[in-house]
Every structure is written in C-alpha cells, then in structure tokens.
Amino acid sequence: MSGQDEELAAAKERGWRELAEIDRALDDGWIDEDEWHRRVLALVEPAYLAGPNPQAGSGHGGDDRTWEHARRLVLDAVDRDGSFLDVGCANGLLMESVARWAAEDGVVLEPYGVEISPALADLARRRLPRWADRIWTANARDFEPAQRFTYVRTGLDYVPVRRRRAYVEHLLARVVAPGGRLIVGAYNEESAGADLAETVETWGLSVAGRTMREHRHPALAYKAFWLIAE
C-alpha cells in the first residue's frame, strides 16, 4: 500500500491496520467470528471508554459542530415520526442527538440502543437514565428484540465482510418494522469510486435512498443509505 493509500485509510478508520490484521486472521482460519468480535471489541472499547468527551466516547474525533455535520445526515432517511434503534450505540450520544435533531425538524423519534460491549452499554445507561431500559447489551447479528422499529441505524465497519449480507438481511427481517427503514451510515468513503451501497445492491437488495456530506478529508465524504423492510 502506498503512502497516499495509507493516509486515506487512516482518514477512514484510525485503527485500520489493527482491523486489517484481525480480518486476515479470520480469513486465514486462525480465529472464528466470535474471536473476531472479541478482538475488535478489545481494540475499540478502551478507546471509547477513555474518550475525553461524549463525541470521542462514540467514536468521533471532533466537537459538537463536527459531530452534527458527520452524523445528522442519517436523518435524511427519516420521513415520519417513529422509533429509532441505534445498533452499536456506544455511549448513547447518537440516540440522544437524533432525538434532539429530529425534534428541531418537527419530527418525534423515540430512541433505543443495542451495544455489544457491556461496559459501553452501562455507560450509555448512566448517561441517559431516562432511556436506560431501552438500551440492550447484545451482538446485533442475532438480536431479536420484542418489538420492531420504524428506523434502525447500523454501520458495517465492525461486521466481518463475509457476514455483512446475512447481517443486513437479519436486521431487515427481524428488527426493522415492515415498511420501516434500515439506515446504513454514517460511514467514511471516497467521494467517487468505491460505493458500499452498490455492493449491497449486488446482494439483490434495493437501496431506496442515499445521502452524503462533505468530509474533512478532500477525497472522502460522509455517506449513508437506506433500505425499506418488507
């Protein structure tokens, strides 16, 4: 990988080298998917827990202003009032933010969260005591909540590549309410060229909408897209 490629990879994901090593171990058969999740969690959890502010505790390296710029685009998928599940909710900041931003737009969203890390889920419950009973600790790959949600937001960064299609199909079938929307994002991607949404469409799924915002790196964009559950 060239120096320019490495710089771009680091702009997308600060721990890209470590994640690439974990991916190789899975691909080469040295570890199984449970161990893949354990190693990724061991990489991510300490950084989030040590974050000096709520943004860092939710995986963002900026302040309130840059957080809103990078994350508010998920609301482009919201077309009505409803429930909103954040998959991988970390410290709960996106749950909190989405509810507030939606209210500013005249939309009522009831936030929920699920988090694979018990420590991060506990942190979210402490930060958001009024929603503590709405935050579950689980691996979303086989999460089947008692209710289904109008909107479910997820990323694919912390899902093994070979598992991503099954993961998305599981959320659409078991977690998103019929007629609801599965929102993938926000994620960092080249402004042109690479397209995660196109990859998802090769699985036979229909992308209903896409959105993007300018990234601090000139070659990248913050992106999101969504699918509609049947």
Q: Is the pLDDT of residue 69 over 90?
A: yes
With 60 as the cut, is the pLDDT of residue 210 above it? yes
Give percent of the chain above pLDDT 70: 94
Question: Residue 7: what pLDDT?
Answer: 54
pTM value? 0.95
For residue 15, what pLDDT is reported?
75
Question: Nearest-CA neighbor of 205 among 174, 176, 178, 229?
Answer: 229
| Rounded Cα distance, 92 and 42, in Å | 19
Length of the chain (residues): 230
Residue 83 has pLDDT above 80, yes or no: yes
Report the largest interatomic distance among the alpha carbons of the chain, rounded to a whole angstrom: 51
Q: What is the pLDDT of residue 8?
A: 43
Q: What is the mean pLDDT of residues 144-158?
A: 97
Confidence check: pLDDT of 2 > 90: no
pLDDT class of 123 with cuts at 50, 70, 90? very high
**How many Cβ atoms from other residues are within 10 Å of residue 7's Cβ?**
12
Q: Which residues contact 60 (CB under 8 A, 6 or more apart)?
A: 66, 67, 70, 71
- 13 — pLDDT class (breaks 50, 70, 90): low
Query: What does the H/E/C string look like for the chain?
Result: CCHHHHHHHHHHCCCHHHHHHHHHHHHCCCCCHHHHHHHHHHHHHHHHHCCCCCCHHHCCCCCHHHHHHHHHHHHHHCCCCEEEEEECCCCCHHHHHHHHHHHHCCCCEEEEEEECCHHHHHHHHHHCHHHHHHEEECCHHHCCCCCCEEEEEECCCCCCHHHHHHHHHHHHHHCEEEEEEEEEEEEEEECCCCCHHHHHHCCCCCCCEEEEEECCCCCEEEEEEEEECC
pLDDT of residue 198: 96
User: What is the Cα–Cα distance from 222 to 230, expressed in whole angstroms?
Assistant: 27
Q: What are phi and psi of 183, to 5 degrees?
A: -100, 120
Q: What CATH number does domain 3-228 carry, 3.30.70.330, 3.40.50.150, 3.10.20.30, 3.40.50.620?
A: 3.40.50.150
State the pLDDT at residue 6.
Answer: 53
Residue 64 pLDDT > 60, yes or no? yes
The answer to whether residue 48 scores a pLDDT higher than 90 is yes
Q: For the chain, what is the mean pLDDT? A: 94
Tokens standing for 184? 């993938």
